[in-house]
Amino acid sequence: MSEVAEKVDLEYLIENLSTKRQLDALEALITEMPKVETTLSHQFEDGIYMRELTIPAGTICTSRTHKTNNLFFIFYGEMLIWDEKNKWEHIEAVYRGRTKKGTKRIIYTIENSIWVTVHPNFDDCRDIEELENRLYEKNDNTFITLPALKQVQK
């Protein structure tokens, strides 16, 4: 972790998160933490694209900003989720939720977790990069240096 990250009270920042600028600052700190192994799989059905993400316990991460509305499910685990509208919410599996256009989240997994998102895919596209471009905004976090920003956008 960098000197900047060590000087910032991460717990305070998380507890007092209220603006996009604070969210960006936290995301920048997260990019400096040790990387965590997650598993992302993709499944397709007529007109549907599904993403399944397995996240280890103790992981803090941010989502990308969503361009569309979609459904999500927590099939396994327990987590704290923050978004700009709802603030912190404690969620345990099995859970079903909705993501609204413009949502960006912070996720802290208390237990190993499985998060599944379901998206419309009207043209049955199978190109993951193209689908991600349709679903997520490019990250505009000014706190993150260019190499780290490229990692966040993957």
Reported as a single tens digit per residue, the pLDDT across 59-111 is 888 888 899 999 999 999 999 888 777 678 899 999 999 999 988 888 889 99
Q: Answer yes or no: is pLDDT of 10 > 80.
A: no
State the average pLDDT over residues 98-127.
93
Fold of 37-153: Jelly Rolls (2.60.120)
Chain length of the chain: 154
> Worst-scoring range by mean pLDDT, 29-38, 97-106, 136-145?
136-145
State residue 141's pLDDT score. 58
Nearest Cα residue to 29 out of 45, 47, 6, 12: 6
pTM exceeding the 0.85 threshold for the entire prediction: no
* Helix boundaries (H) for the chain: 3-7, 10-15, 20-31, 128-135, 146-153
The full set of domain ranges for the chain reads 37-153
Rounded Cα gap, residues 65 and 154, in angstroms: 13
Nearest Cα residue to 103 out of 71, 127, 77: 71
For residue 48, what pLDDT band results from cuts at 50, 70 and 90?
A: very high
> Worst-scoring range by mean pLDDT, 24-33, 97-106, 132-141?
24-33
Q: Answer yes or no: is pLDDT of 114 > 70.
A: yes
> Worst-scoring range by mean pLDDT, 21-35, 76-90, 120-134?
21-35
Q: Are 94 and 78 in contact (CB under 8 A)?
A: no
